[in-house]
Amino acid sequence: MTTPYDFPQYVIDRVMAKRGRLTVYDHFEPKRTALLVIDMQNFYVGEIASVVGMIPNINAIARHLRAQGGLVMWVGMTAGADGKSHWPIYHDNFFTPEKGANHRDQLSPGHPGHAFHKDLDIEPGDEVLYKSRFSPFIAGASNIEEVLQARGIDSLIVTGTATNMCCESAARDAMMRNYKVIMVSDANGARYPEDHLAGLTSFYQSFGDVRTTQEVIRDVLP
């Protein structure tokens, strides 16, 4: 196969020296696989062309996995409620007061920013889950592992935004919780291509595979 993404050559060289192959996982059992769609909410998606443009790829993977009995999970961020932050250390220290309040309130239930983007194909049988940290696998951030374990899930396909923030955080933590994980290069997105590449590069070297939408549908979940 071709390289899974346009990684710098040193990354490919390190991967090949470490494990002798470009990919770790050739195939996932669909009924034991979940697609995680991370933070595709109006607040995060906005008008970022690269993020809006990948929605058809997310929907395509969701349709394909759903048809094979796999689980589709739409994972959003809930940062606060009723003007109170669920994550004060983040809002109080990493934003100006105005921007912290904006992040908290737009990602509170009932605000339009909290809603998932209208072009996402969310079906009644899918799971919708909210987290209070970048990664849903952090203790107390969500009940994601209860949901996955109830379905016998051991493999995850991670998509969404931002590649180098919540998507990478979730994907790394999932691998360290003993899930097999793939990030999808053209179904994760970030505001800047440099951030996108940084997230994928970091993940690929030690945490899992990076594949394209076509490869996931054709090869991983045939």
Give tens-digit pLDDT for 17-74: 999 999 999 999 999 999 999 999 999 998 899 999 999 999 999 999 999 999 999 9
Cα 160 to chain centroid distance, Å, stands at 5
Between the alpha carbon of residue 89 and those of residues 32, 67, 100, the distances in Å are 36, 42, 11
The parent domain of residue 118 ranges over 9-220
- Whether 4 is in a domain gets the answer no
**Residues 193 and 162 sit within 8 Å (Cβ to Cβ):** no
Question: What are the backbone angles phi and psi of residue 81, rounded to the nearest 5°?
Answer: -160, 140
**Number of domains forming the structure of the chain:** 1
- Whether 89 is in a domain gets the answer yes
- Whether 1 is in a domain gets the answer no
Q: How far apart are CA 127 and CA 181, in angstroms?
A: 18
Burial of 52 (0-12, 13-18, 19+ CB in 10 A): middle
The per-residue pLDDT for 21 is 94
Per the document, the length of the chain is 222
Note the pLDDT tens digit of each residue in 83-136. 999 999 999 999 999 999 999 999 999 999 999 999 999 999 999 999 999 999
- Whether 3 is in a domain gets the answer no
Residue 153 sits in a domain of what CATH number?
3.40.50.850
Q: Which DSSP symbol is given to 31?
A: G
- Whether 2 is in a domain gets the answer no
Half-sphere exposure of 123 (CA within 13 A, CB side): 13
- Whether 216 is in a domain gets the answer yes
Residue 55 host element (H or E): helix 55-67
The per-residue pLDDT for 189 is 96
* Position 1 confidence tier, pLDDT thresholds 50, 70, 90: very low
- Whether 56 is in a domain gets the answer yes
- Whether 74 is in a domain gets the answer yes
